[in-house]
Amino acid sequence: MERVVNRLGARSRTRPVTILPAADGWRASGIVDGESPRPVGSMQEAAALLPEGTEVSLSLPVSSVLMERMTLPATNPEELDGMVLLQLEKTLPYSGEELTSGFHVIRQEGSESELLAIAVSNEQLNTLCEPLRARRHLPARVGVFAIQLAARFPDEEVLGMIFREAGSTILCVARNGSLVAAHACATVEREAFITELPRLLLAAELEGTPVNFTRVVVESELASWIEAMREHLGDVRLERFSPDAAVGPCSVNLVPAGWTEEKRQFAQKAKIQEWLLLGGGVYLFLLLLAAGYIIWLEHQVSAVNAQVAAAAPAVDSIATRKARWEALAPATDPSRYVVELLNQVSHSIPSDDLHLTILHQASPSEFSVEGEAPTAAIANLYGDALKNDPDLKIFHFDTPLPEILPNDHAHFVFYGKL
């Protein structure tokens, strides 16, 4: 029973775990408190490491999402959401039902908003997260790692970030903590990336992305690339940073609409299982309690039977003595002498016209009195007097209706019994 309660208590405390992209594969943060992000080769491995009661947040690599910078004539979030979805449907080969989209605001001026629209294919996201679904750990939040990294540098006017994720090297541009653009180079090799860097910078400029960096931060493990990159980045400060450092929540949540209902069903089924488990534990406890009570009762009955058996000779002796005293009672109890009974029944006569003819003591415990009264009413009055006589209170009287004689007198027979 205690184990059941402990299990329910453990479920009620959720542990936040974040699955982040790594240079090659994934890494999980928060599985053990205070532990650095743990590398995992695949989503199956990450799912297997998640403890019970985990709330998962998933950060996607740049290569898994579609990004498009837009300038829209609105500032209201609901209006922007509808406009973004409409623009994405025009430019992408997906319908609105096949996509989950969101947007990250870069700046707002007057009635105009510049934002970065992000979309992900529901089919691809479902395939990626199938191992998590199988273990009922569908993410509560789905963000983009590059957006979370950019938020770590809110004071940088134009920031360049270079890091590796999912087998690619990423060049990101951020302004004041907001991601402006991200370009993936499908290599993690130094020479290949250095060769592609000018093309990435040119593509960013053609999109209208500022590349006049005030600072460029490079993943710590790519420190050996810094000198080779200076030729293409110009006179800009290059510094190292660690992508493994803690990141905050993403400003965009790409959880598909269907996942919310699916997670609710997961939670409902889990709660039903918990209550069934608790009910089973309580039922088992009650069965054990009932079995213990029955065993205790059997022990008590055995003890009482032993006491009865031990007392049986004494009880039989007492019963024998009682019967003997009952037989001798008329001779030893003055109140039950025949003469005394005659005296007592005579005191209750209500009229001188009523005559007693027979007083018969059939046994020590019963007698009868027979007589004749001038009327039935006087005979009944005598019967009531016998019942109320304090000297005869030890007897219970039966007073049947008197018999009317030919001379209209009433003949009666009343019985007294102990």
pTM to 2 decimal places: 0.62
Q: What is the pLDDT of residue 239?
A: 94
Q: Is pLDDT larger for residue 32 or for residue 49?
A: 49
Q: CB neighbours of 352 closer than 8 A, spacing ≥ 6?
A: none
* pLDDT tens per residue across span 18-33: 999 999 889 998 887 7
* Two tokens, residue 86: 């409409």
For the chain, what is the mean pLDDT?
87
3-class secondary-structure state, position 384 = helix
Whether the pLDDT of residue 189 is over 90: the answer is: yes
How far is residue 37's CA from residue 19's CA, in Å, rounded to a whole number? 9
* pLDDT tens per residue across span 156-180: 999 999 999 999 999 999 999 999 9
Whether the pLDDT of residue 312 is over 90: the answer is: no
Domains and CATH numbers, the chain: 15-255 (3.30.420.40), 335-417 (3.30.1360.100)
How far is residue 158's CA from residue 237's CA, in Å, rounded to a whole number? 12
Q: What is the pLDDT of residue 198?
A: 94
Q: What is the pLDDT of residue 321?
A: 82
Radius of gyration of the chain (CA): 51
Q: Is pLDDT larger for residue 394 or for residue 131?
A: 131
Span 87-113, average pLDDT = 84
Q: CB neighbours of 255 closer than 8 A, spacing ≥ 6?
A: 100, 139, 140, 141, 142
How far is residue 105's CA from residue 120's CA, in Å, rounded to a whole number? 18
What amino acid occupies position 135? R
How far is residue 92's CA from residue 156's CA, in Å, rounded to a whole number? 32
Q: What is the pLDDT of residue 123?
A: 92
* pLDDT tens per residue across span 342-358: 888 888 888 888 999 99
